[in-house]
Structure 1
Amino acid sequence: MTTQHSDSRAASARPDEGVTYVFAVCRSTRATSAWNVTGVTGMPGGEAVRLLSSDLLTAVVQTVPGSDFTDTVWQRRLADRDEIERYARAHHSVVSAVAAHTAVVPLPLATLYHDDTRARQVLDHESDRFHAALKRIAHHAEWGVKVYEPSTPEPSQAHGESVLQPDGGRGAPAPGAGLAYLNRKRGVQVQREKRREQALAVADSVDAELRGLAAASRRLRTHGAALSGDQRVHVLNATYLVADGRADQVRLLVETLEERTGARIELSGPWVPYSFVGEA
């Protein structure tokens, strides 16, 4: 259910040859066979989005130009933030459209097979894993939670305190001023580390309480300021698989935790459970 199952990017496809792009997999039912997906917009330059059935499973697919997904073209696209976001949005749009009707296993961006026959072979070969994932995520959604360290001003120099200056500056430092200055610097560092420890403890407590509502959870790598452009200190980046009937409980719990801890907590979702389909 990852790109490991897909054929090698379509590098062997002729420029004028179409390949099968797979967005998601769901169960084959009467309702599925009756879906009208003609209005769903897929990848740029591709044919109409359609359904590809194989026994008890149905894949949501699109025939796309092989020349648009060769390794060389795709690597160049990955280097263009706007372009890769365009393709990611197109992929997610199709997955979301199908997920509005039934449980789906979303496949990674640019999951490709040389043709429909090859895609059907994969559905048959991986049938047990797809069914296990569908059972796991049915009637559940993914919720993302980010926790940030509370913003507090750095301790500043006391009013009227002398600053060490080079020789010739006004006001020579008093005896012991250098040691006092170093002690203050150490104090600032100790306070900073203490705030960090407290924030991490808050993150652990938030995670523990949310896990109590979730069927499954994952803690992800936190985002640095250089990556996100956000100068806040990020201490928790987690995602939770939550039953649809508990959505309001999640929202209320996050509000309660934010009030109780004073931390900035961001909740996003509900999303198609991308993070949990590979754990079956």
Structure 2
Amino acid sequence: MSDLRYVYAVCPPFGTPLPADLTGVVGEPPARLAHGSLVAVVSRVPEGDFAEEPLRRHLEDLDWLTATARAHERVVDALTAVTTPLPLRLATVFRDDSGVRVMLEEGEARFRAALERIAGRVEWGVKVYVTPQDAPRAAQAQAQAGAPASGRDYLRRRRQESRSQEEAWQRAERFSERLHDALREHADAVRLRPPQNSPISPDGQHAGQNVFNAAFLVRRELSEGFVETVDATKDEATQDGDPGIRVELTGPWAAYSFVANITETETEEPGGGP
């Protein structure tokens, strides 16, 4: 069996070398494949794992999928440090170098338009979580008070809990709106995403309820101000007496959220080839 070509990203020409110890999928180092005004960053992968049928089976293997995704992201992250990559979807594979060149040639206009739109920019992710601080105190008060004396007493306690939760949500929503407005001043584009709940935060504590989830496309030279604005707004929440609000900032990343439709349209089905 011959090796196939795994493609991580499409980039403008760049001269800065990638780290010598950088490895991608299946431990292979990435290489540049130039065609016209574009460069594809590729590595060799075994046909026995990445042809159409074995790849379909592998994609159902969570461990394999996780390892491959991490290797893919590792290469894209390295590219983000030296150029502006247009990341392709996971497991974009071609039969040989000529198949990659055909992709670059057929998609040149759309790839170049996308690269111009994100040139010199990175993606930052911002999430807001809320954990009502009155809930533990309410539980403690209930434990001290003992069992409800009557059905009316029980309903009164439940109304108090519900009111506390609703007030916490309203504070978090107002905070998220202020944060969104402040960060939008530093961004060229924003993508709002559905809330995603994470049971554990980075510090090992419960993350709370995710009420705001967005990606921001930010010029590199404005990123410092963007991060400072996030920090300042977090401080504002604490000063306003909202310790139950937590802001999570991630990045800088390649502009995944702002090029997905373009890269999916322009790539070949996994395992295919001319």
What's the TM-score once normalised by structure 1's chain length?
0.78
Corresponding position: 1:178 with 2:151: yes
Q: Displacement of 1:36 after TM fit?
A: 6.8
Unaligned runs of 5+ in 2: 239-244, 263-274
1:202 is matched with which residue: 175, 183, 196? Answer: 175
2:192 is matched with which residue: 216, 219, 235? Answer: 219
Could you tell me which residue of structure 1 aligns to residue 6 of structure 2?
A: 21
Unaligned runs of 5+ in 1: 1-15, 165-172
Counterparts of 1:40 and 1:163 in 2: how far apart (Å)? Answer: 62
Corresponding position: 1:61 with 2:37: no
Q: Displacement of 1:80 after TM fit?
A: 4.3
Change (3 A) 1:236 1:75: farther
Partner of 1:44: helix, strand, or coil? helix
Change (3 A) 1:160 1:146: closer
Counterparts of 1:159 and 1:107 in 2: how far apart (Å)? Answer: 54
Alignment of 1:49-198 (within 5 A): 49-154=30-135, 155-156=138-139, 157=141, 161=145, 163-164=147-148, 173=149, 177-198=150-171
Change (3 A) 1:182 1:86: same
Task: Give CA-to-partner distance per residue, 1:38-92, whole Å, 9 cap, x none.
Answer: 653221165x532212111111112211211245544554454443232122112
Partner of 1:41: helix, strand, or coil? coil
Change (3 A) 1:143 1:268: same
Could you tell me which residue of structure 2 aligns to residue 251 of structure 1?
A: 227
Give the alignment's Cα RMSD to 1 decimal.
Answer: 2.7
Stretches of 4+ moved more than 6 A in 1? Answer: none
Counterparts of 1:265 and 1:226 in 2: how far apart (Å)? Answer: 15
Q: Do 1:37 and 1:50's aligned partners in 2 also have CA atoms closer than 8 Å?
A: no
Could you tell me which residue of structure 2 aligns to residue 264 of structure 1?
A: 246
Counterparts of 2:40 and 2:24 in 1: how far apart (Å)? Answer: 14
Q: Percent identity?
A: 34
Q: Displacement of 1:182 after TM fit?
A: 1.3
Higher-Rg structure is 1
Q: Displacement of 1:152 after TM fit?
A: 0.3
Per residue, is there more helix in 1 or in 2? 2
Q: In structure 2, what residue type is equivalent to 1:110?
A: A
Q: Displacement of 1:17 after TM fit?
A: 2.7
Counterparts of 1:97 and 1:159 in 2: how far apart (Å)? Answer: 53
Change (3 A) 1:227 1:123: farther
Partner of 2:251: helix, strand, or coil? strand
Change (3 A) 1:221 1:110: same
Q: Do 1:38 and 1:50's aligned partners in 2 also have CA atoms closer than 8 Å?
A: no
1:42 is matched with which residue: 11, 21, 24? Answer: 24
Counterparts of 1:227 and 1:115 in 2: how far apart (Å)? Answer: 43
Could you tell me which residue of structure 1 aligns to residue 218 of structure 2?
A: 242
Greater Cα offset, 183-192 or 133-142: 183-192
